């Protein structure tokens, strides 16, 4: 007697090819940061009639619109086929470079830096998008090297190609000049090179070259006077307490006023009086420190830590070289920028004018950050939906010897 085997494999195969979910922990952390940031921006601007024109909720509405547009961009990148992400990467790079060129020819100067383009009444900062462009550009170089006919190990040609990708945007950013973005970009480039497996001597040369270039810029007078004053105020805030050191001094006072639990949202004395300059953008962390205290400021740092953890986890688990390098670069970008921003609010880093990711007010920063999160989610989806990931979901190292 013969029997017909039961078809039990087909349903399992169907379930195994189902598109998995996004990284919900990463998404939750980002959304929580945007909610906290919106409240902090609202608090920092609600009493500033010079900014709002008498409408206490003006910046609240603008920030909500920025977040909504950013979320749409994130969803679009998340849902885009990974092959199109690779194809569009060079276009993103070219568009970013074009924006930086336009800034130098027809940009608007704000706080001594020619970094803004006015388009239809909206201000756009191309240097924010340049960070993402450099990350995807360098990631594409590494991917082509490993997946094509190039050598199996990152060599001199490969490193020079990655540095060339970063050199053009970096030069245009320094011509603005935007020292804060340049520092973030340098840290990002260093991180991508380290993750790619470049030899240590290249990393040492890059670090040493950065120090020499910085010293030469100061000695040769390439930096603007206000930039030099900011570094001098960082070394000694009491040197010019009413000038370059004013921001640092007021930021420290605001954070110190918060204590453990803060003075209460919308009730910070320094914030309501408007003593901290640029508090809704570069110094938004001082609002958290004063009004939410150590607990609230610690929550902001913890949420940023979750974002970095998930980015690095995505980088270590993917088999896609482009995705691995892009995720590592995004983690370096967010990590150093957050450290720089919080550090200057606490007086442990010089004032350079970089926003706190997903917290500070601003459309360009929010859009670029959300595009990066969308790319992380795209890599995450591809990792979990690939057969290799389902059969052997083991962590991968970033750097191979």
d(CA 330, CA 364): 16
Question: pLDDT value at position 158?
Answer: 85
Question: pLDDT value at position 232?
Answer: 65
pLDDT at 283 exceeding the cut of 80: yes
Please, which pLDDT band fits residue 32 given cuts at 50, 70 and 90?
Answer: very high
Provide the mean pLDDT of the chain. 83
Q: Which of 17-26, 60-69, 75-84, 266-275 has the lowest mean pLDDT?
A: 17-26
Summarize the confidence of residues 144-168 as an average pLDDT. 77
Please, which pLDDT band fits residue 217 given cuts at 50, 70 and 90?
Answer: low
Structure tokens at 213: 């270039």
Q: Which of 112-121, 164-173, 303-312, 320-329 has the lowest mean pLDDT?
A: 112-121
Question: pLDDT value at position 106?
Answer: 85
Q: Which of 6-20, 129-143, 157-171, 335-349 has the lowest mean pLDDT?
A: 6-20
pLDDT at 85 exceeding the cut of 90: no
pLDDT at 310 exceeding the cut of 90: yes
pLDDT at 13 exceeding the cut of 70: no
The pTM of this model reads 0.87
> 131 with 332: CB under 8 angstroms?
no
Listed ranges 30-39, 82-91, 199-208; the one with the highest mean pLDDT? 30-39
pLDDT at 15 exceeding the cut of 50: no
Summarize the confidence of residues 315-322 as an average pLDDT. 90
Question: pLDDT value at position 332?
Answer: 95
Please, which pLDDT band fits residue 19 given cuts at 50, 70 and 90?
Answer: very low
> What letter would DSSP give residue 69?
H
Summarize the confidence of residues 132-137 as an average pLDDT. 94
Three-class DSSP category at 97: helix
H helices present in 178-320, as ranges: 179-196, 200-219, 225-235, 246-257, 269-273, 284-287, 293-317
Residue with tokens 């859009």: 367
* Residue 188, CA atoms < 13 Å, CB-side half-sphere: 34
- pLDDT tens figures, 325-367: 999 999 999 999 999 999 999 988 888 889 999 999 999 999 9
- pLDDT tens figures, 249-261: 888 899 999 999 9
Q: Domain limits of the chain? A: 22-384
Structure tokens at 361: 């007010």
Show the 3-state SS of 303-334. Answer: HHHHHHHHHHHHHHHCCCHHHHHHHHHHHHHH
Please, which pLDDT band fits residue 123 given cuts at 50, 70 and 90?
Answer: confident
């Amino acid at each position: 007697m013969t029997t017909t085997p039961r078809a039990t494999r087909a349903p399992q195969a169907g379930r195994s090819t189902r598109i998995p979910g996004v990284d919900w922990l990463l998404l939750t952390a980002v959304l929580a940061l945007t909610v906290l940031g919106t409240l902090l921006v609202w608090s920092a601007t609600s009493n500033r009639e010079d900014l709002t024109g008498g409408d206490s909720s003006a910046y609240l509405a603008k920030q909500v619109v920025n977040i909504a547009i950013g979320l749409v961009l994130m969803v679009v990148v998340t849902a885009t086929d990974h092959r199109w992400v690779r194809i569009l990467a060079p276009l993103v790079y070219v568009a970013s470079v074009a924006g930086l060129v336009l800034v130098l020819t027809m940009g608007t100067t704000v706080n001594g830096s020619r970094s803004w383009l006015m388009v239809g009444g909206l201000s756009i900062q191309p240097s924010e998008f340049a960070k993402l462009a450099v990350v995807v550009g360098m990631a594409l170089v590494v991917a082509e090297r490993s997946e094509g006919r190039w050598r199996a190990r990152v060599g001199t040609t490969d490193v020079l190609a990655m540095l060339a990708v970063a050199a053009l945007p970096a030069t245009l950013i320094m011509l603005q000049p935007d020292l804060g973005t340049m520092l973030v970009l340098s840290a990002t480039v260093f991180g991508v090179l380290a993750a790619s497996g470049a030899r240590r001597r290249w990393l040492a040369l890059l670090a040493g070259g950065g120090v020499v270039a910085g010293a030469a810029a100061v000695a040769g007078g390439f930096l603007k006077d206000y930039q030099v004053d900011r570094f001098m105020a960082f070394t000694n805030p009491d040197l010019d307490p009413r000038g370059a050191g004013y921001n640092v001094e007021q930021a420290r006072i605001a954070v110190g006023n918060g204590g453990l639990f803060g003075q209460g949202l919308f009730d910070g004395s320094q914030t309501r009086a408007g003593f901290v300059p640029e508090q809704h953008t570069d110094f938004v962390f001082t609002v958290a420190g004063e009004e939410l205290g150590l607990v609230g400021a610690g929550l902001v740092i913890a949420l940023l830590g979750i974002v970095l953890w998930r980015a690095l986890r995505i980088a270590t688990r993917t088999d896609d070289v482009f995705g691995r390098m892009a995720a590592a670069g995004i983690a370096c970008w967010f990590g150093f920028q957050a450290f720089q921003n919080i550090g200057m609010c606490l007086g442990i880093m010089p004032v350079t004018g970089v926003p706190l990711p997903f917290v500070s007010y601003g459309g360009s920063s929010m859009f670029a950050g959300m595009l990066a999160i969308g790319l992380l989610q795209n890599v995450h989806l591809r990792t979990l939906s690939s057969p290799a990931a389902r059969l052997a979901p083991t962590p991968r190292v970033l750097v191979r010897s």
